[in-house]
Amino acid sequence: MALNLVLVQQRQSARGIGLSWTPLEGASAHQVFVACRRLLPEELEAAASVNGTAECFVAKVGGDVTSVIDDITPPGEARHYGVAMVFADGTVRPARFRTLPEGGRPEWFHLSELNRAQAAAPPPAPPQASAPTRAPGPVPTPARPAAAGPPPRPAVPPDVPPPPSSLPLQDSLELRMQGATQTWDGLRIHWERDPRAAAYEIIASDHQIFSEELADALAGCADFTTVAAVGPTVTCVIDNVTPREARGWYAVLVRSRDGHRTLHPFKLGDAAASGRLSAPFLNPNRTGELRAEVEALLADAREQWERWRSNQDAGARHEAKRMVADALLIWPGHPAAQRLLAEIG
């Protein structure tokens, strides 16, 4: 059955968008939807069935949770929000909720925290399973990891740390940004590992940010600026926020376990120059333009592949393979591109 949810559009604020609702008796869990566009009921149902898609983040929380904060959407970007109640018999109903543009209380659940929880916790039994569903305990149940074979989603860095805005700047840093022109395959921002790092923070902006502006940038208050945190095992991200052939300005910080930050050396280059063919996106929630670009490439590649299959045109096969390889540089690990590449051989 399609999910007839009321989606409310809000533009992300520096403090995050808060969502609050009143649960009905008998609700065993709640689903929170954060969509890049206004989805049809069938699309919401499909997103819920695979615990989220590239266009819609879905988080499942316990029945006693009544509020969350969206701290994964970059400041200034618009999202469509919805909340559904899940009952023990598998029934799903829309929940009446309100949005708080200036965030909520510190103790509210943060969506980034739920991401980490669902990665670390064993998968709970889904409410729609045939076996009886246990009533939730006093601790909210985190969302279940995505099932195998979901629609294309960008690579997500492991061990996602708290966002930069959650930790105020403690040190006075002499920020020095590097400028570079965006590449056709996505500029790679890469660095060597630092044993002191609990996280790396990457800053990408359309203008230089100076030391006195750094605190505002980390808090998410700087215009046309993206700041993201990745885990200590990540040493490269792909800039998917700067337009093609536009110039961007970049910096990388090391965040230690005590919250102190230091500048960290890094390099910039395309996939060939950096040697980093695969890496997570700087902003995994902003992939609409890349998706359209990759799908257009794959459509052309399939056309060339069909020419080879019907006419044995060796040039068409070579062109198809080149297009698929380009698609995998733009979106590493794209499932449809990988399948087509395996078919072409």
Tens digit of pLDDT for each residue in 96-108? 888 887 777 777 8
Say what angle helices 314-330 and 288-311 make with each other, to 10 degrees. Answer: 160
| Domain ranges, ordered by start, for the chain | 8-120, 164-274, 288-344
Q: What angle do CA 323, 278, 269 make, to 5 degrees?
A: 90
Evaluate whether 8-120 and 164-274 have a shared fold. yes
* Banded model confidence at residue 149, pLDDT cuts 50, 70, 90: very low
Given a cut of 50, whether residue 332 has pLDDT beyond it is yes
- Dihedral class, residue 278 (left if φ above 0, else alpha if ψ from -120 to 50, else beta): beta
**pTM listed for this prediction:** 0.56
- Check residue 1 and give its pLDDT: 52
CATH superfamily of 8-120: Immunoglobulins (2.60.40.10)
On whether the CB atoms of residues 57 and 72 are closer than 8 A, the answer is yes
Mean pLDDT of 316-338: 93
pLDDT digits (tens, 9 = 90+) for 192-219: 999 999 999 999 999 999 988 899 889 8
Task: Return the pLDDT at 118.
Answer: 53
Predicted confidence (pLDDT) per residue in 226-237, tens digit: 999 999 999 999
Burial 266-280 (b: 16+ CB within 10 A, else e): bbbebbeebebeebb
Backbone angles phi, psi at 165, to 5 degrees: -65, -15
Kindly give the pairing relationship between strand 261-263 and strand 56-62: unpaired
**Predicted pLDDT of residue 112:** 82
Fold for 164-274, please state it.
Immunoglobulin-like (2.60.40)
Q: Does residue 339 contact residue 304 with C-beta atoms inside 8 Å? A: no
